[in-house]
Structure formats: structure tokens, C-alpha cells
């Protein structure tokens, strides 16, 4: 299982801790890779909508979709804390629905849930925490608000907006969140938020002064080749490597070079001779 939510809650770089490493994953092989690489936290993010399911935003995924992907990640038994992302409209309608939806993600194998938004989400966050489910907050650029924000835009560039983000972070901490994702905010804002709270901040497009960093699996491995946000660093080019590998397979199939003897199954000679007797030839 890796780290628990309570142990994550005390990770602060200013107290000498190593920064938290979080990466998204959406299936069993991805979870095994993240675990083998030593990630602390796997986020089964609603980004699955865009990087796996082909949607243009994250609004299309449902609780059932998230349950499906969280369960696949959990079956891999990674040595990581698994965070399940609550999708849009799963925590906006009623406290009962919200707790039921958070519980569905936990039953699928998450160790905690994440949801987007600041002060207006506090009543739902409190209900989830009352049900003994740890909650990770997410403020700044919150992709589920893409239409309300007028696009995927950096948040907190104005001092007043930045002040509100610091206030939101403090409220989320006060409500009991064990950690916060800070997405798409200027470095100074991430720094101010990180200083203002005693729970860890995990940044994405938030500069180097947070208590951890998260990247989307397909971005960091270079599997996603359509859009490269400024904050992404690519550590591999698996898209090109995959295209080249499948081109090589296609070429071997077309030339007859695949499969070879070692990649094929064989019969004992006597059985092959009997088959030859029946049909005249064995191939
Ligand atoms: O869904 C996701 O991948 C996220 C990260 C970008 C933090 O919420």
C-alpha cells in the first residue's frame, strides 16, 4: 500500500522531508511501472478522460469509469498510496451522493479520494471525511471548471486572486484535507500557499517550491504527442518508440521474418509423421 494518508499529511520539505513523487496511472501495467520506479503516490486521475479515453476535457468520465480504472490499478498491488479522483458532478449534488461516490472509489481500491475546488466544496469534504475517507484537495487551475474559467488558464496571477487561493488552501487544511494539489499557478503563489499550510502541497505547473510534484503518466513518458503543456518535462519518447516497434513488427510480418522457429510450437517427429500420413503434408 505504501504511505498512508496520515503519514503523507506530515511531509513538508521545510521540515527536511523529501518531496513527494506522485504520478498518474490508469491500469495495472501503469501501476506496476509507477511502483517499480518508486513513486510515493499513484493518482488515478480523471485525466484518464483525455489521455486514455480520447475526450477533449475531463467532464465526460463517470464514477463507474473511475471505479473501473482504480480497480485495475489496485489489482496490480503497487507499493504506493492510491488516490482516486472524484469526477465532475460526483460531489456537487448532495452529501449523500458525494459520500456514496467517494465510497465507491474506496471499495474499488483507492486509499483516499481527491476533489477539485476551494471553499464552496467544504461541506462535501467534511461529509466525506466524516465517513472516514481521507481527502486530497485540488486548487488553482481545476480542469473540471474549464468552462467556468474560460479555458485551461493559469490561476492566481492577480494578487487578490492569489490571496483567495491562500485562503482556500487554509480552509481545506482546516476542513481536514491531508494534502493539496496546486495546479497551474505562478511560482510565488505556490510558495505562499505552501508556506501557509502544514499539509503537503503537490504541484503541477506550480514551480519548484511545493512539497511534491505530480505529472500525468502519458505526458512524462511522451505517450501523449498532441499537446505539450509548458510545465511538462518529457523523460522518454514512448510514442516514437512504440510507432517504431510496431513498424518493425509490420515489416517482419510482411517479409515473412516473423515468427521464426523459436517463436513457433512444434510436434514430436512421430506425431508429425502420422499427420503427414493423414494429409500428405504438415505445413
Ligand atoms: O486528473 C489528473 O491527472 C489530475 C492531475 C493533473 C493533478 O488531477
Q: Whose CA is closest to atom 1 on ligand 1?
A: 45
Determine phi and psi for 259, rounding to 5 degrees.
-85, 160
How many angstroms does the Cα of residue 196 sit away from the middle of ligand 1? 23
End-to-end CA distance of the chain: 51
How many angstroms does the Cα of residue 244 sit away from the middle of ligand 1? 29
Pocket of ligand 1 from Cβ distances under 6 Å: 24, 43, 45-47, 85, 181, 183, 204, 214, 216
Catalytic hit among 183, 244, 261, 274: 183
Confidence of residue 1 (pLDDT cuts 50, 70, 90): confident
Q: Is 183 a catalytic residue?
A: yes
Question: What pTM did the predictor assign?
Answer: 0.95
Contact assessment for residue 78 and residue 35, using Cβ atoms and an 8 Å cutoff: yes
Q: Which stretch of DSSP H or E encloses residue 9?
A: helix 5-9
Match domain 5-236 to its CATH number in 3.50.50.60, 1.20.1250.20, 3.40.50.1580, 3.20.20.60. Answer: 3.20.20.60
pLDDT, tens only, 87-135: 999 999 999 999 999 999 999 999 999 999 999 999 999 999 999 999 9
Q: Is the pLDDT of residue 76 over 60?
A: yes
Confidence of residue 31 (pLDDT cuts 50, 70, 90): very high
Q: Whose CA is closest to atom 5 on ligand 1?
A: 45
E runs forming strands in the chain: 20-24, 41-44, 81-85, 112-114, 135-140, 179-183, 201-204, 212-215
Taking the CA of residue 214 as reference, the ligand 1 atom at the shortest distance is 7
Unique residue bearing C-alpha cell 481527502: 135
The residue whose CB lies within 8 Å of the most ligand 1 atoms, and thus the one to mutate among 214, 219, 231, is 214
Query: For the chain, where do the domains classified as CATH 3.20.20.60 start and end?
Result: 5-236
How many angstroms does the Cα of residue 58 sit away from the middle of ligand 1? 9
Amino acid at each position: 500500500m505504501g504511505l498512508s494518508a496520515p503519514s503523507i499529511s506530515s511531509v513538508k520539505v521545510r521540515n527536511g522531508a523529501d518531496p513527494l513523487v506522485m504520478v498518474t496511472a490508469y491500469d495495472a501495467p501503469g501501476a506496476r511501472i509507477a511502483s517499480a520506479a518508486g513513486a510515493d503516490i499513484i493518482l488515478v486521475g480523471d485525466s484518464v478522460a483525455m489521455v486514455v479515453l480520447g475526450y477533449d476535457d475531463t467532464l465526460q468520465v463517470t464514477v463507474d469509469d473511475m471505479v473501473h480504472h482504480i480497480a485495475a490499478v489496485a489489482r496490480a498491488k503497487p507499493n504506493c498510496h492510491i488516490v482516486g479522483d472524484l469526477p465532475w458532478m460526483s460531489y456537487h449534488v448532495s452529501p449523500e451522493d458525494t459520500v456514496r461516490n467517494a465510497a465507491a472509489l474506496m471499495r474499488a481500491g483507492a486509499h483516499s479520494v481527491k476533489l477539485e475546488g476551494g471553499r464552496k466544496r467544504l461541506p462535501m469534504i467534511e461529509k466525506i471525511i466524516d465517513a472516514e475517507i481521507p481527502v486530497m484537495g485540488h486548487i488553482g487551475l481545476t480542469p473540471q471548471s474549464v468552462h467556468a474559467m474560460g479555458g485551461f488558464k493559469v490561476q492566481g496571477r492577480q494578487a487578490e486572486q492569489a490571496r483567495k487561493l491562500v485562503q482556500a488552501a487554509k480552509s481545506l487544511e482546516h476542513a481536514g484535507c491531508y494534502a493539496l494539489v496546486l495546479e497551474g499557478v505562478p511560482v510565488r503563489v505556490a510558495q505562499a500557499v505552501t508556506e501557509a499550510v502544514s499539509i503537503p502541497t503537490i504541484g503541477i505547473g506550480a514551480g519548484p517550491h511545493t512539497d511534491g510534484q505530480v505529472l500525468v503518466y502519458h505526458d512524462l513518458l511522451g505517450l501523449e504527442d498532441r499537446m505539450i503543456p509548458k510545465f511538462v518535462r518529457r523523460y522518454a519518447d514512448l510514442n516514437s518508440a512504440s510507432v517504431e516497434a510496431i513498424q518493425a513488427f509490420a515489416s517482419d510480418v510482411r517479409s515473412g521474418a516473423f515468427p521464426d522457429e523459436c517463436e513457433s510450437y512444434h510436434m514430436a517427429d512421430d506425431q508429425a509423421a502420422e499427420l503427414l500420413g493423414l494429409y500428405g503434408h504438415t505445413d
